[in-house]
Structure formats: structure tokens, C-alpha cells
């Protein structure tokens, strides 16, 4: 590991807190040091208060902030003298410790201080860095880890036995540091947890961290435990529908919809097929900081047909063996290993699942390196249980806030690159859904750069392409809960006497046939939706009130509407509801250019504004209006509605 410090970059940050921000971000760039909010940094600064008195303030990373992107407001300013007074109390419950720290900050709007605030306060150095360096954790998690750590660092680091983070760890660390530190000491190793470095400047503390971690990496290299084979000649055997069944089992256990991301890459496959994976994967996480996000890692068999029974057995065993079942707020696993597909990770959101994936990838590396060094040995089960049911963690889970309407659910939208389809994607994303958008326009793939969106370029009249797209959605998010059939074409106005068979078939293939295929192929996934499947068909005013010159379009939309009605009848017993929206005169789409609008308005002797509001309510109907109603139709307000047809047209006299 090399120092990333740059004097040019550092010069852009002013003051001691500014340099604390800079060096924290350097640590955050290294995923082998910290991941997704892990790690802690602090700086002690003298400041003058309102009374003109000098106070020592400990600025420590606040809860909810990530080192890679932290800003000055992400540090909690805690009065140092109060933190040090807390450190000498005979005992202090962790919730009260957090209360004391929070009520002794300089800024009421600051984030909650880290539970390791007292630990940082007790170390007599201006800057303190704390990471969960993979290499250090790897060596800690071996049969003779403590001895190896002492061999590597000697008197450079004080070695502290594992104690759960909080007040107890702070006191133990303070005692061990006072007893064992020397003039050469520049760090502290918290066994099975991480490593701290410190110094008089931000650069000194940061580069000491890099040096200490590099020692551990060199130790692993010298003993042939650094390079891990990542290649595998055998392909993954992944069945999308089986993954959707797996996701349903996890969702049922969690008591809420969960996303499931299947990660069938070589390294994960190799780990899942390791000869001792059943032992090494079940010991526990590499560090207690990862307990909540990677808890319970079941090993499944490679027979995809056994998922349901495997999960029934797994969850019943978990409930029976739990020390305090009433406290098991969420027994669902976040990580699943299977020799058929490798790794699958779950989360209530796509971001949460992505965090779990990143953490467990590093966990697999740590386990395999520890195995190469003599054998992986995680913390005892009792310590892991204590962290999982730690009152502070349980309080976080209970205080998590009301989830978004579609949290953990997946929507598939066709014709999603523009117009109503683009608005549909935005409406479902705004309600917390993970969204897959299909469109023949390649721009669909870059419509949104976020983890809860998947854009797939796809010609929906190509059945094979549709099947591939459906499978990709199932592997990326875990299934399909909501299907919005929006894609369609409107051919040039042509009366029946002038309508050719080829043009008729082209319109029918897009507006009707492709939707039949998609409904047929998505039905097994919709049946597995934790809250019941939902289908919304974007129809047209032309269904109840067709016009001349639109025979192919009107007939295709009417046939699709009839198909939706039959589906509502047939799929009700599968807990799938099917409803249709009939928009009209939606002018903010690619079809309606300024020139076309002006021409149509002139034809009716109207202004453009009059033409756009030519309905009973004299209001303009937008893509957003249609999308919002479509999204709501998939929500709880329409939970007992199926087979419905709703106009979104401002009131059309012919329809009324």
C-alpha cells in the first residue's frame, strides 16, 4: 500500500479540520482500509467559546458519514474534557454514553458522535485514524493471530484483545496503552476489529497508517498468503426464476420485500466451491462492524429446485436456536452462497445490497488469505451475537424510519427512454422501487446512473431479446413485482381502405404481440411478488373512443385492453392485479414537436395553449400525470382494485 498524500491537493484544504477532511478522504479511497461508512478519524482542536475561553474540542467522524466523501460538517465537535471525564467512570451504559456525548457537542445540528469517541479522546495525540484494514483483520482472524500481530509490530503498536466497541473498549484501550506503549509506539491494533494510528499532523497520522498496514500486507506476501486465485473454468449455473424464488424466501423471512442481487463472477464461484466453504463461511464476519450487514450466511445446495425447502428449514432452525427470539427483528440473511451460482446478496434497497456485496467480497478475500496463513478463525459466536443484539444496533433498526412505498420492490417498464415511459421510471424511483427500463433506444442504458436503475436496450418484438432482458432483471434485482406495459407505436394516419397488411402487422407486433409475450413470461415472477404482482397497461383514449385514420393503433390498443381484462380474471387467484390507464393528448412526448403542435392547433383554429387544454377540465395532461397515476395504481390505494380502466385525459366528451 502506498501513500496517496499530495501537497498540491492538501493545499486546497484550510486549517486543521480541513486537513482532517483531506486525510480522511485519502483513507476512504482505499476499499481495503474502510468500506461504506466504516472507520473513524478525529482531530483535537483548541477553539474559543462564546465567553472568550479556550476549549479543547474533539472533532470525530459522525454517524452516517463516509470517509471517502466526508465534509467538515460530517465531524461531530465534542468537548474533550467531558469525554475524558466519562472515560474514568466505573461503568457507563452505551446508550447513556451516546446521550452524554451528543449533549456535549458545540453544534446541535452535528451528527451523532461515533461510539468510539471516548477511545479517540483517550489517545494523547492530535490526529487519530482508525481503519478496518483487510490485511490486519486477516492476520487477527487466524488461529495464532495475536502472536503474529505482535511479531509484525513489536513495540510499534499496542495490541488490545477484542472487546465490543463502546465504553468498555475505550477503557480497555486506555489501560493497555498506558501499560504497554513506548516512545516508538505509533498505533494500536484492536484484535478482530482494526488498527489505529496517530500523529501530530494529519499527514503523519495518515502515513503511519499506510506504513503499518503495509507491514501486514508484506507479512502475508512473504508467507504466500496474499495472492488469491480468481479464475475458474466452470461457468455458473444460474436460473433466474430460482433466484426469484430465493428472493421470495428472504422477503418472507424479513417480513418485507427485499432485493436480491446475484453475483455469479469467478471469484465468488471459486469461494462457494471451496472444499471447506461449509466451515469457513459459517464462523462469522471478518470484523464485528460487518455483523449487521452480512449476518447469517447460509450455504445452499446446487439443486435449484430445493430452494423453498432449504429456506423453510433454515429459517425454522434460526428461530428455534435464537437466544432471544423476540429480539430477532429481521432473521433474513444478507448473503447467500451456492456452488451453482456463487454469491447472492440482499438488501431493502439496491444501495444496501451493493454495500453487502462489497463487504462480503472483502470478507471472502480475508477468509481465503487467513486459510492460506494457517486457518480462518472468527470471533466466538457469543461475541457476534452480542454485537448483533447490541442495544445501539437494535435502536438503529427500530429508528430506521418509514420505508419508501416500494422499498425492496422491482418495476419493469417498457418504452422507458422517453415520454410517458421516462416519466414512469422517475415516478417509480421516487417511490423507492428498483426500476428496469426497456427500450429500443440505446440511450435507455444511461438514462440514470444509480444502483436502483437498470437500463436494457431491447427490441420488444424480438422474443429472445425479451427473455434475456427478463432474466437480467431477475438476476440484477431478484424478480419482477410490477410490470408497466407502456411501449407502443402510432403509425401514420391512414384510413382502412389505404392500410396495408405489413403496416397493420407491424403495429400489432409492438402494441399487442410483444405485450402478450411479456405478460406470459413475467407471470411466474409476478406470482412470487412479496406483496402480490401488479400490471399496469398504458392504453389509449382510442380504446373507448376511436377516431378515423387510426385503425391499426385503435384495434391494437383495444385488443391489449381486452387482454388485460382477461388477465385480471385469470390472475386474481395468483394475487396479481391488472389495471389499465387511458391517456389522451399527452403533448410532452417526442411525437409532439413544436411544429406538429402548431400545425394541429391551426387546423382547429386554436392557439397552441388552447389546443393542449382542449378537454372538459381545460387542463394540460403531461407524461408526469400519467406516470404518477400508474405508480399509485401499484400502491396501497389500489390494493383492492383489478380489471379497472381509468382515463387520464382531462375529460373527453366522446369518452364521457
Active site residues: 553
Residue 216: helix, strand or coil by DSSP?
helix
Pick the closest to residue 213 from 336, 279, 130 (CA basis). 130
Q: Please state, as a whole number, how many other Cβ atoms lie within 10 Å of the Cβ of residue 13.
A: 17
Q: At what angle do helices 463-477 and 240-254 cross, to 10 degrees?
A: 30
CA–CA gap between residue 542 and residue 555 (Å, rounded):
9
CA–CA gap between residue 193 and residue 206 (Å, rounded):
18
CA–CA gap between residue 341 and residue 481 (Å, rounded):
23
Length of the chain, in residues: 656
Is 205:187 a contact under the CB 8 Å cutoff?
A: no
Is 560:582 a contact under the CB 8 Å cutoff?
A: no
Q: What is the DSSP string of 136-200?
A: HHHHHTBTTHHHHHHHHHGGGEEEE----TTHHHHHHHHHHHHHH--TT--EEEETTTEEEEEES
What is the separation of C-alpha 495 from the centre of its chain, rounded to a whole number of angstroms? Answer: 51
Q: Which three cell numbers stand for residue 572?
A: 386474481
Q: Please state, as a whole number, how many other Cβ atoms lie within 10 Å of the Cβ of residue 28.
A: 23
From residue 435, alpha-carbon distances to 253, 379, 480, 514, 598 in Å are: 23, 39, 9, 20, 35
Q: Which three cell numbers stand for residue 259?
A: 432485493
Is 426:419 a contact under the CB 8 Å cutoff?
A: no
CA–CA gap between residue 429 and residue 72 (Å, rounded):
30
Is 436:476 a contact under the CB 8 Å cutoff?
A: yes
State the Rg of the chain over Cα: 30
> Rounded to 5 degrees, what are φ and ψ at 655?
-70, -45
Bridge partner residues of 346 (DSSP): 260
Pick the closest to residue 202 from 419, 22, 472 (CA basis). 22
**Cα dihedral: 627, 244, 643, 461 (round 10):** 70
Q: Which three cell numbers stand for residue 306?
A: 430445493
CA–CA gap between residue 281 and residue 297 (Å, rounded):
7
Q: What is the DSSP string of 434-454?
A: EEEEEESSGGGGGS--STTEE
Is 43:59 a contact under the CB 8 Å cutoff?
A: yes
Is 412:522 a contact under the CB 8 Å cutoff?
A: yes
Residue 275: helix, strand or coil by DSSP?
coil
What is the separation of C-alpha 558 from the centre of its chain, rounded to a whole number of angstroms? Answer: 40
From residue 372, alpha-carbon distances to 229, 263, 278, 462 in Å are: 12, 24, 17, 49
Bridge partner residues of 58 (DSSP): 44, 78
Amino acid at each position: 500500500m502506498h501513500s496517496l498524500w499530495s501537497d498540491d491537493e492538501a493545499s486546497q484544504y484550510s486549517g486543521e479540520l480541513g486537513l482532517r477532511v483531506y486525510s480522511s478522504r485519502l483513507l476512504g479511497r482505499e476499499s481495503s482500509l474502510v468500506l461504506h461508512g466504516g472507520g473513524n478519524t478525529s482531530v483535537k482542536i483548541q477553539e474559543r467559546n462564546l465567553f472568550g475561553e479556550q476549549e479543547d474540542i474533539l472533532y470525530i467522524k459522525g454517524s452516517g458519514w463516509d470517509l471517502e466523501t466526508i465534509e467538515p460538517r460530517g465531524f461531530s465537535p465534542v468537548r474533550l474534557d467531558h469525554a475524558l471525564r466519562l472515560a474514568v467512570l466505573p461503568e457507563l451504559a452505551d446508550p447513556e454514553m451516546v446521550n452524554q456525548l451528543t449533549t456535549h457537542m458545540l453544534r446541535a445540528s452535528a451528527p451523532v458522535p461515533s461510539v468510539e469517541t471516548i477511545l479517540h479522546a483517550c489517545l494523547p495525540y492530535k490526529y487519530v485514524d482508525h481503519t478496518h484494514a483487510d490485511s490486519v483483520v486477516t492476520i487477527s482472524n487466524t488461529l495464532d493471530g495475536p502472536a503474529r500481530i505482535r511479531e509484525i509490530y513489536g513495540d510499534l503498536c499496542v495490541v488490545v484483545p477484542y472487546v465490543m466497541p463502546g465504553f468498555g473498549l475505550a477503557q480497555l484501550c486506555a489501560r493497555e496503552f498506558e501499560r504497554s506503549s513506548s516512545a516508538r509506539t505509533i498505533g494500536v491494533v484492536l484484535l478482530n476489529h482494526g488498527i489505529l494510528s496517530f500523529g501530530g499532523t494529519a499527514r503523519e497520522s495518515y502515513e503511519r497508517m499506510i506504513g503499518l498496514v503495509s507491514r501486514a500486507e508484506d507479512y502475508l506476501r512473504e508467507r504466500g498468503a496474499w495472492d488469491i486465485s480468481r479464475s475458474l473454468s466452470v461457468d455458473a449455473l444460474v436460473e433466474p426464476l430460482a433466484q426469484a424464488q430465493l428472493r421470495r424466501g428472504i422477503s418472507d423471512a424479513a417480513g418485507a420485500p427485499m432485493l436480491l442481487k446475484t453475483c455469479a463472477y469467478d471469484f465468488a464461484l471459486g469461494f462457494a466451491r471451496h472444499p471447506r466453504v461449509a466451515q469457513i463461511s459459517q464462523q462469522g464476519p471478518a470484523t464485528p462492524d460487518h455483523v449487521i450487514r452480512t449476518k447469517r450466511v447460509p450455504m445452499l445446495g446446487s439443486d435449484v429446485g430445493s430452494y423453498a425447502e432449504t429456506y423453510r428449514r433454515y429459517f425454522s432452525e434460526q428461530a428455534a436456536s435464537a437466544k432471544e427470539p423476540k429480539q430477532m427483528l429481521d432473521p433474513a440473511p444478507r448473503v447467500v452462497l451456492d456452488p451453482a451460482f456463487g454469491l447472492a446478496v440482499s438488501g431493502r434497497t439496491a444501495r444496501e445490497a451493493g454495500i453487502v456485496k462489497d463487504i462480503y467480497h472483502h470478507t471472502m478475500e480475508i477468509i481465503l488469505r487467513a486459510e492460506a496463513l494457517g486457518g480462518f478463525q472468527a470471533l466466538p459466536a457469543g461475541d457476534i451475537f452480542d454485537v448483533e443484539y447490541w442495544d445501539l444496533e437494535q435502536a438503529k433498526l427500530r429508528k430506521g424510519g418509514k420505508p419508501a412505498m416500494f422499498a425492496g420492490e422491482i418495476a419493469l417498464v417498457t418504452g422507458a427512454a422517453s415520454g410517458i415511459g421516462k416519466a414512469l421510471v422517475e415516478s417509480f424511483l421516487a417511490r423507492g422501487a428498483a426500476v428496469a427500463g426497456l427500450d429500443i433506444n440505446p440511450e435507455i442504458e444511461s438514462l440514470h446512473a444509480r444502483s436502483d436503475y437498470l437500463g436494457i436496450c431491447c427490441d420488444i418484438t424480438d422474443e429472445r431479446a425479451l427473455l434475456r432482458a427478463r432474466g437480467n432483471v431477475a438476476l440484477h434485482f431478484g424478480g419482477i413485482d410490477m410490470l408497466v406495459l407502456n411501449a407502443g407505436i402510432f403509425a401514420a394516419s391512414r384510413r382502412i381502405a389505404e392500410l396495408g397488411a405489413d403496416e397493420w402487422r407491424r403495429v400489432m407486433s409492438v402494441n399487442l404481440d410483444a405485450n402478450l409475450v411479456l405478460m406470459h413470461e413475467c407471470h411466474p415472477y409476478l406470482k412470487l411478488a412479496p406483496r402480490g404482482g401488479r400490471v399496469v397497461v398504458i392504453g389509449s383514449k382510442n380504446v373507448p373512443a376511436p377516431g378515423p385514420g387510426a385503425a391499426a393503433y385503435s384495434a391494437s390498443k383495444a385488443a391489449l385492453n381486452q387482454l388485460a381484462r382477461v388477465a385480471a380474471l385469470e390472475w386474481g387467484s395468483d394475487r396479481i392485479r391488472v389495471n389499465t390507464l387511458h391517456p389522451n393528448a399527452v403533448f410532452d412526448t417526442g411525437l409532439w414537436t413544436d411544429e406538429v403542435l402548431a400545425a394541429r392547433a391551426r387546423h382547429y383554429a386554436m392557439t397552441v395553449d388552447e389546443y393542449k387544454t382542449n378537454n372538459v377540465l381545460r387542463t394540460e395532461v403531461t407524461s408526469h400525470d400519467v406516470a404518477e397515476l400508474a405508480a399509485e395504481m401499484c400502491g396501497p390505494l389500489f390494493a383492492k382494485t383489478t380489471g379497472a380502466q381509468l382515463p387520464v385525459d382531462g375529460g373527453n366528451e366522446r369518452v364521457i
